[in-house]
């Protein structure tokens, strides 16, 4: 990769004190709680945005909120940057460290602390995986709604950091809509609790501000999330169209008709071929674009909703309509979709964009995406959450060819600019991280950004938390 | 009489605020003022009102998104949505009846007070529907935050921060929000005669069913008499609302009725009466009559609501009704100012918060209208306010308790 994205220059005073910092931190943590040997640091050198790698100064792996507080208080006192990390599945480099930073890994805080079915909440430590919450409450008929594709690995703490979404947020919302409370540690070591098991928190909506703040405001150690009763049944249905244009128009008309399925996923021809080769999900290969539309509820409800959707799809010349005939088949359909990124990674290197656009602009943006990538001589696969306009073009390239890698990055930037120009945004659910940091001025004025940064200062006056991320390095105000 | 400014556009509002900041003039920010008296007394001689900034700017029914200027009357918004079979998902509370105010509620006021009704249980609060805003900070700078798409994690979410900030962090000039299709049909299952504890169990049981319940409320016998359509004639009323396609509502209502018949005799209410019932619950009409007593709004875990009321009744006369599966409690306590007892009892049943919604000037003196925050959160809130409103001119005091005035003042120099 081209290494065009800069990190803050390492603080020389921190690097020069490395041995002492390691000794001090080791004292604050239980045996084995601090990783600092070079070869042990390698697993922490990057996240799922693998184009950039740097070893951190050390990795702290606390087991309690008090240990998190002790580490942060120490780092704050000595001016040491801290990079919080969940499972390291960030697609935007949100967890990539820097040489002068202590990585604060939450992986050892992975307990489900309390499940309260009557109040429909679960209280969990930040390091639990997204899927384990649904697995725990599933036998009782409940689930945790946000379901990012990485849900087997990604942690709830990381989900809160990025306000993660998933395929089913069209109906159930994203993380911020399903989060009722957090325990978090501020950079100076202060432990605060926001919200709880009640449906609205007191005072300013700090919970809303913290969710999606990419580890810039504090380190969440515990979360109270809403769990919901599972629908009686759910049925994913495949709709094949000749072209992306028709599929995109069908999505807009379904929503426009007042029908809100739980999920509408979109795949173009390239994505269908990649996913089918990997997952053998039974996707039709003769179509140019595929929608996976999931309806849920009682049989009567699913029938009624499907009938209405099929009628709309026919108006857009749908070529195939296939309902899953069994739970196994339904699971396969989702497996194909959720393995899209992994399957793509098997055939090429790729970068994944995450812009969101107004629904009426879907077809136009798909067309521009194709034109931009073709213009750079690159292939692109589109697989995304169409119901809420959250696009994920996967730009394929060869990482061993620096010129092609640079082109891929440029193409991605141009696509995101198109998303913003039509009224959308740079990132729907992956976060800004380092990847989109230098594009923030596409979307925000300097005044808008200055206001966000000022609020950030209220939490972390010395700018120590995940400091190279989210905001362009130039133009940061003095404290 | 206060000076009242009604800027007609954003630039005019920026100028006014810039001047006020340089003169140190405090401004009380308001919309339609139908929630006047909510919050602590504001020490400001000048009022800055958003009603001059009115009108729907953009509405794309096919994208389920509307943008409107902050001072647009809710009635205009709802008429426009209704003409397209759409609605505000969070069912905003109309506070006029219960607060004894007049005038037109505005869309800006709804979001700035995060006024969310019964459907908050299933469709989120006002803050969950709010996608983007334009606001003017305390330096007189126009700021854009968020956008017009549902999924957006680009930068810090100042939209949520401003929602529910009651005009203390910025002068919001424009809001962009998500809307939903109106359900084709609705029905309500009612259970009669349950005590508060049993009603809470019944509501929890309903919410555990795959029935997609979009409202769960309980009105005890003493207040049920005032409900429309003689709903309360057989005593306490526990109501569970189902919405959606007609065929689906019928199937779910039948199956939920069977499940709940273990608790009490069950009846099903038809759509028109169901709509009247939920409007009454939304606007807290059973507690509109007793204006001589303070009215509190309490948010606790759903199963803690009835325990709170039972504990309070050991000490005083209490009238209460429950929404949000029992977790949103509207209550009146007879007798002396009772903030401390109420807040201690909330903490004892597991935590939450109480907001004083309506009280006379005498009753209000010495009561913090909003739940006092633990010191670190109060200090953090003060620092945040100082970053948005460095001169401390926006509605000073409204959200800070009297005891916390010094905290807010300290923030001005920070």
Same domain membership, residue A330 and residue A394: no
Give the other-Cβ count within 10 Å of B24's Cβ.
Answer: 10
Q: How far is CA A397 from the centre of its chain?
A: 22
User: Among 3.30.465.10, 3.40.50.20, 3.30.420.40, 2.102.10.10, what is the CATH number of B1-182+372-414?
Assistant: 3.30.465.10
Domain annotation covers residue A238: yes
Q: What is the pLDDT of residue A3?
A: 58
Domain annotation covers residue A470: no
Give how far A181 is from chain B: nearest CA, Å: 11
Q: Are strands A34-35 and A58-60 parallel, antiparallel or unpaired?
A: antiparallel
Q: What is the pLDDT of residue B403?
A: 38
Domain annotation covers residue A452: no
Same domain membership, residue A360 and residue A267: no
Q: Which two structure tokens, joined as six digits, stand for A18? A: 């490395």
CATH number at residue A399: 3.30.70.2740
Contact A126/A106 with Cβ under 8 angstroms? yes
Which run of H or E residues covers position A404? helix A402-421
On chain A, the residues whose CB falls within 8 A of the CB of B149 are 356-358, 388-390, 423-425, 428
Sign, CA torsion A366/A368/A371/A372: negative
Give the other-Cβ count within 10 Å of A203's Cβ.
Answer: 21
Nearest to A148 by CA among A65, A57, A238, A263: A263
Rounded-to-integer distance, Cα A11 and Cα B226, Å: 68
The answer on pLDDT for A201 being more than 70 is: yes
The residue that leads in pLDDT, A479 or A274, is: A274
Rounded-to-integer distance, Cα B413 and Cα B392, Å: 9
| Predicted confidence band of residue B231 (pLDDT cuts 50, 70, 90) | confident
Domain annotation covers residue A3: no
CATH number at residue A153: 3.30.465.10
| Predicted confidence band of residue A271 (pLDDT cuts 50, 70, 90) | very high
Same domain membership, residue A319 and residue A238: yes
Same domain membership, residue A336 and residue A263: yes
Mean pLDDT calculated for residue range A7-16: 97
Q: Does A478 contact chain B (CB < 8 Å)? A: no
Last residue of a domain, one of A173, A197, A229: A229
> Any idea which residue has 């330096």 for tokens?
B139
Q: What is the pLDDT of residue B404?
A: 41
Same domain membership, residue A99 and residue A32: yes
Q: Does A475 contact chain B (CB < 8 Å)? A: no
Same domain membership, residue A71 and residue A120: no
Q: Fold identical between B185-282 and B290-364? A: yes
Q: Are strands B213-219 and B237-244 parallel, antiparallel or unpaired?
A: antiparallel
Same domain membership, residue A373 and residue A325: no
Q: What is the pLDDT of residue B366?
A: 82
Cα distance from N-terminal residue to C-terminal residue, chain B: 33
Q: Does B182 contact chain A (CB < 8 Å)? A: yes
Q: Tens digit of pLDDT for each residue in B202-216? A: 999 999 999 999 999
Rounded-to-integer distance, Cα A87 and Cα A110, Å: 11
Residue A175 — φ and ψ, nearest 5°? -55, -45
Contact A187/A218 with Cβ under 8 angstroms? yes
Q: Do the Cβ atoms of A196 and B352 come within 8 Å? A: yes
Domain boundaries, chain B: 1-182+372-414, 185-282, 290-364
Q: Does A465 contact chain B (CB < 8 Å)? A: no
Residue B131 three-state SS: strand
Residue of A162, A193, A425, A426 for testing the chain B interface, max B β-carbons within 10 Å: A425
Q: What is the pLDDT of residue A324?
A: 84
Contact B407/B378 with Cβ under 8 angstroms? yes
Q: What are the beta bridge partners of residue B167?
A: none
Q: Does B348 contact chain A (CB < 8 Å)? A: no
Q: Tens digit of pLDDT for each residue in A320-332? A: 999 888 888 888 8
Q: In chain A, how long is the greatest CA-to-CA distance?
A: 70
Domain annotation covers residue A358: yes
Rounded-to-integer distance, Cα A407 and Cα A39, Å: 32
Number of domains in chain A: 4
Eight-state DSSP code of residue B368: -
CATH number at residue A86: 3.30.43.10
Q: What is the ipTM of this complex?
A: 0.95
Q: Do the Cβ atoms of B299 and A455 come within 8 Å? A: no
Same domain membership, residue A186 and residue A218: yes
Eight-state DSSP code of residue A256: H
Instruction: For chain B, give the mean pLDDT.
Output: 93
Q: Tens digit of pLDDT for each residue in A343-353? A: 998 999 999 99
The answer on pLDDT for B408 being more than 70 is: no
The answer on pLDDT for A64 being more than 70 is: yes
| Predicted confidence band of residue B70 (pLDDT cuts 50, 70, 90) | very high
Q: Do the Cβ atoms of A458 and B386 come within 8 Å? A: yes
Q: Tens digit of pLDDT for each residue in A436-457? A: 999 999 999 999 999 999 999 9
Q: What is the pLDDT of residue B290?
A: 73
Same domain membership, residue A220 and residue A122: yes
Q: Are strands B3-5 and B46-49 parallel, antiparallel or unpaired?
A: parallel
Instruction: For chain A, give the mean pLDDT.
Output: 94
User: Among 1.10.287.130, 3.30.420.130, 3.30.70.240, 3.20.20.150, what is the CATH number of B290-364?
Assistant: 3.30.70.240
Q: What is the pLDDT of residue B409?
A: 35
Q: Which domain holds residue A279?
A: 234-340
| Predicted confidence band of residue B293 (pLDDT cuts 50, 70, 90) | confident
Give how far A76 is from chain B: nearest CA, Å: 17
User: Whole-prediction pTM value?
Assistant: 0.96
Domain annotation covers residue A318: yes
Rounded-to-integer distance, Cα B383 and Cα A479, Å: 12
| Predicted confidence band of residue B369 (pLDDT cuts 50, 70, 90) | very high
Same domain membership, residue A294 and residue A255: yes
Q: Does A328 contact chain B (CB < 8 Å)? A: no
Residue A225 three-state SS: strand
Contact A401/A367 with Cβ under 8 angstroms? no
Burial class (CB within 10 angstroms; exposed 0-12, middle 13-18, buried 19+) of B169? buried
Q: What percent of chain B has pLDDT over 70?
A: 96
The answer on pLDDT for A259 being more than 50 is: yes
The answer on pLDDT for A84 being more than 50 is: yes
Q: Does B376 contact chain A (CB < 8 Å)? A: yes
Q: CATH class for domain B185-282?
A: alpha beta
Residue of A203, A257, A440 for testing the chain B interface, max B β-carbons within 10 Å: A203
Contacts of B101 (CB under 8 A, 6+ apart): B33, B34, B35, B36, B37, B95
Q: What is the pLDDT of residue B248?
A: 86
CATH number at residue A276: 3.30.70.2190
């Amino acid at each position: 990769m081209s290494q065009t994205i800069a990190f803050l220059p390492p603080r020389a005073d921190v690097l020069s004190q490395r041995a002492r910092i390691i000794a001090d931190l080791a004292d604050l943590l239980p045996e084995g709680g601090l990783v600092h040997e070079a070869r042990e640091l390698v697993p922490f050198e990057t996240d799922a945005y693998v184009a950039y790698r740097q070893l951190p100064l050390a990795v702290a792996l606390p087991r309690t909120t008090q240990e998190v507080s002790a580490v942060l208080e120490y780092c704050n006192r000595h001016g040491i940057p801290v990079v919080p990390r969940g499972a390291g599945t960030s697609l935007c480099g949100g967890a990539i460290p820097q040489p002068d930073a202590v990585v604060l890994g939450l992986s050892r805080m992975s307990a489900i602390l309390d499940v309260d079915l009557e109040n429909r909440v679960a209280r969990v430590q930040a390091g639990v995986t997204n899927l384990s919450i649904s697995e725990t409450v599933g036998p009782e008929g409940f689930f945790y709604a946000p379901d990012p594709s990485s849900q087997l690995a990604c942690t709830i703490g990381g989900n809160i950091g990025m306000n993660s979404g998933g395929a089913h947020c069209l109906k159930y919302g994203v993380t911020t809509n399903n989060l009722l409370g957090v325990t978090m540690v501020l950079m100076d070591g202060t432990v605060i609790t926001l919200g709880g098991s009640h449906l609205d928190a007191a005072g300013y909506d700090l919970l809303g501000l913290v969710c999606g703040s990419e580890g810039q405001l504090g380190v969440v150690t515990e979360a109270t999330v809403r769990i919901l009763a599972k629908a009686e049944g759910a049925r994913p249905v495949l709709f094949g169209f000749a072209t992306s244009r028709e599929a995109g128009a069908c999505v807009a008309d379904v929503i426009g008709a007042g029908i809100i399925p739980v999920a509408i996923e979109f795949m173009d021809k390239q994505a269908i071929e990649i996913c089918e080769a990997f997952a053998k999900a039974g996707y039709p290969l003769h179509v140019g674009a595929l929608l996976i539309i999931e309806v849920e509820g009682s049989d009567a409800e699913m029938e009624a909703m499907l009938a209405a959707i099929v009628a709309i799809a026919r108006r857009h010349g749908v070529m195939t309509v296939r309902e899953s005939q069994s739970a196994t088949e339904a699971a396969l359909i989702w497996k194909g979709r959720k393995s899209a990124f992994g399957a793509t990674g098997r055939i090429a290197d790729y970068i994944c964009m995450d812009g969101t656009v107004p629904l009426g602009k879907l077809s136009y943006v798909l067309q521009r995406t194709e034109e931009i990538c073709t213009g750079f001589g690159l292939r692109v696969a589109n697989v995304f959450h169409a119901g809420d306009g959250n696009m994920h073009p996967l730009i394929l390239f060869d990482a061993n060819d620096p010129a092609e890698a640079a082109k891929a990055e440029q193409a991605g930037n141009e696509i995101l600019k198109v998303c913003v120009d039509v009224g959308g945004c740079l990132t729907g659910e992956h976060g800004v991280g380092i990847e989109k940091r230098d594009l923030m001025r596409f979307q925000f004025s300097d005044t808008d950004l200055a206001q966000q940064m000022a609020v950030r200062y209220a939490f972390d006056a010395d700018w120590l938390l995940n400091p190279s991320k989210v905001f362009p390095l130039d133009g940061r105000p003095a404290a | 009489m206060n000076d009242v400014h009604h800027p007609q556009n954003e630039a005019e509002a920026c100028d006014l605020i810039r001047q006020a900041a340089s003169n140190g003039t405090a401004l009380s920010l308001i919309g339609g003022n139908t929630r006047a008296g909510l919050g602590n007394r504001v020490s400001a001689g000048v009022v800055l009102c958003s009603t001059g900034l009115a009108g729907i700017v953009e509405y794309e029914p096919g994208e389920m998104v509307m943008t409107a200027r902050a001072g647009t009357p809710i009635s205009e918004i709802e008429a426009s949505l209704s003409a397209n079979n759409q609605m505000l998902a969070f069912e905003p509370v109309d506070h006029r009846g219960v607060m004894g105010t007049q005038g037109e509620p505005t869309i800006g006021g709804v979001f700035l007070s995060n006024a969310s009704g019964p459907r908050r249980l299933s469709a989120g609060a006002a803050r969950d529907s709010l996608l983007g805003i334009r606001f003017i900070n305390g330096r007189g700078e126009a700021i854009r935050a968020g956008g017009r798409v549902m999924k957006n994690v680009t930068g810090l979410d100042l939209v949520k921060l401003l929602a529910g900030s009651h005009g203390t962090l910025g002068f919001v000039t424009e809001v962009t929000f998500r809307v939903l299709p109106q359900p084709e049909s609705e029905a309500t299952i009612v259970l009669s005669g349950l005590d508060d504890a049993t009603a809470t169990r019944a509501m929890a049981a309903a919410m555990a069913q795959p029935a997609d319940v979009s409202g769960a409320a309980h009105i005890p016998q003493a207040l049920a008499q005032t409900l429309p359509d003689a709903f309360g004639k057989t005593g306490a009323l526990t109501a569970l609302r189902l919405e959606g396609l007609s065929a689906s509502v019928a199937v779910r209502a039948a199956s939920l009725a069977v499940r709940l018949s273990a608790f009490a005799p069950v009846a099903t209410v038809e759509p028109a009466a169901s709509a009247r019932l939920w409007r009454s619950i939304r606007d807290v009409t059973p507690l509109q009559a007793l204006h001589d007593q303070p009215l509190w709004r309490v948010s606790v875990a759903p199963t803690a609501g009835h325990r709170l009321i039972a504990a309070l009744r050991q000490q005083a006369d209490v009238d209460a009704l429950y929404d949000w599966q029992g977790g949103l409690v509207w209550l009146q306590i007879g007798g002396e100012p009772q903030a401390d007892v109420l807040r201690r009892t909330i903490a004892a049943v597991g935590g939450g918060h109480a907001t004083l919604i309506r009280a006379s000037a005498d009753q209000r003196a010495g009561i913090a209208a909003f739940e006092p925050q633990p010191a670190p959160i109060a200090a953090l809130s003060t620092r945040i306010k100082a970053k948005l409103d460095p001169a401390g001119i926006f509605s000073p005091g409204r959200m800070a308790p009297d005891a916390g005035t010094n905290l807010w003042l300290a923030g001005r120099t920070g």
